[in-house]
Amino acid sequence: MNKNIYYIAYQDFPAITANSSQTIATCKYLKRNGYNTTLFFPLRSNHSDDNPERIKSYYEIDGEMFDVQGINHTFKFQKYNFFKKIHYILGHIRWSYQAIKFVYTNYEPPKLFFTRSDWVFYFLSNKKVDVIYECHQVTKLRKKLINISLKNENSKVIFLNKQIYDEANVKKQFINQTYIINNGYDSDFFFHKNINQKNSVIFSGNLIRLGKTRNIEFILESFQDPRLSEFKLKIIGGDKEISDIYKNKYSNINNVEFIKHQPKKILSKYLNEADIALMVNSSNKHSLLFTDPLKFYEYLACKLKVVAVDFPSHRALEKYKNIYFFENDNKNEFIEQLLKVSNLNFIENSDVPPMSIDSRIKKIITELI
C-alpha cells in the first residue's frame, strides 16, 4: 500500500511565521499517523535551509523526522515595489511548475500531494492526481484557480473557516470536494499546567505583518490607563530588533514587558502563567475575514480567556467559548472588557473543544485521504 505523501510548499523554512509552523506541524503529524511524508520547498532566500537537523531543532520536533527537500528558486524578485507583486506571482508560477517536474523526475509517485500553494494545486490538478489544497485566504486569481482545479475529481480543498469558503465562491458542482476544517494547537507544547495568575495578560505573535503593525500601539496606549494599573502585560513576538524598538519607545509604561520571539516550549510556559490573552490586528481584509489564528487554539489549550477585537473572523470562534469582544480601536470598551473578564472563570466546553493538530490530521485522514 502506498503511504507516501508529498507536501509542496511555496514558503521559507525555517521561519518564525505561524504559516511555517502550521505546515511543519501538518507534516509532523502526518508522519506520526503512519504516512511517509516529504516536505518540498523553495531555497529562495539566504535563510532557506533544507538541513533536516536544523529544521528539527528549530521547530522543536521530538521523535522521528519527516523528510525535507529544498528545490532551487532561480527566479529573482524585482527589488522595486511597483513590480514586486507581479514578480512574486511569476516566481511562484515558475517554481511551482519546476518543483512538480523535479518531484516526478526524482521520486516515485505518492499516494497524495498536499499543498498551500494555489499554483502547485493548479498544476497537479492538471495531472489528474490526488491533491489536497489548504486555502488560508482568497484573491480574485485564487478563486479562478480553485474552480478550474476542482474540475479534477481527485482535487480537494480545505478552507480554514466559513468566511474563506464563502469568499471563494466555489461552483455548486464542486461542493463535495470542499471541506471546512479549523486550525488547531500542537499538543506537544500547549496544555494546561494550572499556574494561571490573575490580572496577568499576554499577547503572542509577530508584531509586524507585511510591513504593517498589528495595532500593538492600541494595546500599549490602553495599558497606560490607571484602570489597568493592577494588570501586567507580556508582549511576546517579533525578532529582537522589532521587540527592542517597541521596548525603547514605550519604556515609560511600567506594567508592560516586551519579550522577543520564543521557542514553543518557553512560550507555553509564559501562556500558562497568564490569565487573559489578547487578539488584535490591523483592519485589513485578511484580518477581518480570513484569519483562523493558531494562537487562539494555543491560548485555549492553556485555558486562557481571550479578549479579541470584534472582527468576523474572530466571531467565527465563538463556538469554542472563552472569547470576549471589543469594538476595534475603542479604548474604553477594551479596558472595560478586560476588567470584566478578569473576574470570570474559564468555561470548559465539552460540546466543541479546541482541536489539536494531531486530531485535525486524523480528521483529514479519515474524511479526505
Provide the CB-side half-sphere exposure for 65 (13 A, CA): 16
pLDDT at position 227, please? 97
Residue 349: inside a domain: no
pLDDT at position 246, please? 84
- How confident is the model over 117-141, as pLDDT tens digits? 999 999 999 999 999 999 999 999 9
What cell numbers appear for 147 in the block? Answer: 474552480
161 and 244 co-located in one domain: no
Residue 190: inside a domain: no
pLDDT at position 324, please? 98
Q: Determine phi and psi for 115, rounding to 5 degrees.
A: -160, 155
110 and 240 co-located in one domain: no
CB atoms inside a 10 Å sphere around CB 21: 17
241 and 265 co-located in one domain: yes
130 and 232 co-located in one domain: no
Show Cβ contacts of residue 88 under 8 Å, excluding neighbours closer than 6 positions: 77
Cα separations (Å) of 17 from 32, 194, 221, 230?
A: 23, 28, 26, 32
pLDDT at position 88, please? 85
User: Which residue is it, cell 513576538?
Assistant: 237
pLDDT at position 250, please? 84
What cell numbers appear for 232 in the block? Answer: 501586567
Beta-bridge partner residues of 158: 134, 179
Residue 351: inside a domain: no
233 and 364 co-located in one domain: no
310 and 178 co-located in one domain: no
Residue 35: inside a domain: yes
pLDDT at position 80, please? 52
Answer whether 282's CB lies under 8 Å from 259's CB: no
Distance CA 240, CA 261 (A): 7
What cell numbers appear for 237 in the block? Answer: 513576538
- The DSSP secondary structure of 224-235, one letter per residue, reads TSGGGTT-EEEE
151 and 17 co-located in one domain: yes
Residue 41: inside a domain: yes
- How confident is the model over 61-75, as pLDDT tens digits? 999 999 999 999 987
225 and 107 co-located in one domain: no
CATH number at residue 60: 3.40.50.2000
Distance CA 271, CA 52 (A): 29
Provide the CB-side half-sphere exposure for 121 (13 A, CA): 24
pLDDT at position 266, please? 97
pLDDT at position 340, please? 97
166 and 225 co-located in one domain: no
150 and 13 co-located in one domain: yes
How many structural domains is the chain composed of?
2
Residue 134: inside a domain: yes
214 and 174 co-located in one domain: no
Buried b (16+ CB within 10 A) or exposed e, 176-200: ebbbbbbbbbbebbbbeeeebeebb
Residue 189: inside a domain: no
pLDDT at position 238, please? 80
- State which H helix or E strand residue 103 sits in: helix 81-106
Distance CA 300, CA 295 (A): 9
219 and 180 co-located in one domain: no
Answer whether 182's CB lies under 8 Å from 359's CB: no
Domain residues for the domain of 241 are 200-341
Q: Which residues of the chain have pLDDT under 70?
A: 76-82, 209-212, 282-284, 286-290
